């Protein structure tokens, strides 16, 4: 099925309006997320998950058991995890920004019914 774009839509889909290397940078961001959130090579759960469980143990010791001795470790761990999560959020925001720039160019004349997997260069997206 042929897709009919308006001249304005066709012009909007030129290289001047979207830098495709931004998508490759997004892939790099996804790799960063995978490193933090994916299983480790040894099959163990992600480090962030383990760190959160350790933080929970420390919090239980401090808040539920009154262990003042664990207070420094609790807040040191919390700050480290917060920094890591902030870095992950930044990566997600970059990905979202890139996708937003791309979808802002979505041709109005294109409807979901016009999508045809056979014309798709992505292998069946």
Instruction: Answer yes or no: is 13 within a domain.
Output: no
Domain that holds residue 85: 21-105
Instruction: Answer yes or no: is 6 within a domain.
Output: no
CB 1 within 8 A of CB 114: yes
Cβ contacts of residue 75 below 8 Å, gap of 6+? none
CB 29 within 8 A of CB 95: yes
Instruction: Answer yes or no: is 81 within a domain.
Output: yes
Cβ contacts of residue 120 below 8 Å, gap of 6+? none
Question: How many domains does the chain divide into?
Answer: 1
Instruction: Answer yes or no: is 15 within a domain.
Output: no
Instruction: Answer yes or no: is 14 within a domain.
Output: no
pTM exceeds 0.75, yes or no: yes
Mean pLDDT of the chain: 89
Mean pLDDT within 90-98? 98
Percent of the chain with pLDDT over 90: 74
Apex 90 CA angle, 86 and 94, nearest 5: 170
- Answer yes or no: is pLDDT of 56 > 60: yes
Instruction: Answer yes or no: is 10 within a domain.
Output: no
Instruction: Answer yes or no: is 99 within a domain.
Output: yes
Helix, strand, coil fractions of the chain, as percent rounded to 5:
65, 0, 35
Instruction: Answer yes or no: is 69 within a domain.
Output: yes
Apex 62 CA angle, 57 and 68, nearest 5: 130
pLDDT value at residue 120: 53
Q: Token match 């003042």: residue?
A: 68
């Amino acid at each position: 099925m042929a897709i009919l774009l308006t001249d304005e839509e066709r012009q909007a889909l030129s290289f001047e309006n979207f830098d495709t290397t931004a998508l490759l940078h997004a892939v790099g961001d996804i790799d960063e997320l995978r490193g933090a959130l994916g299983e480790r090579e040894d099959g163990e759960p992600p480090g962030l998950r383990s760190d959160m469980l350790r933080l929970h143990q420390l919090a239980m010791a401090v808040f539920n058991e009154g262990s003042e001795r664990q207070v420094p470790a609790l807040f040191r761990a919390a700050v480290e995890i917060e920094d890591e999560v902030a870095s992950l959020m930044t990566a997600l925001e970059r990905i979202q920004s890139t996708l937003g720039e791309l979808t802002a160019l979505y041709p109005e004349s294109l409807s979901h019914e016009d999508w045809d997997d056979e014309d798709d260069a992505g292998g069946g997206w």
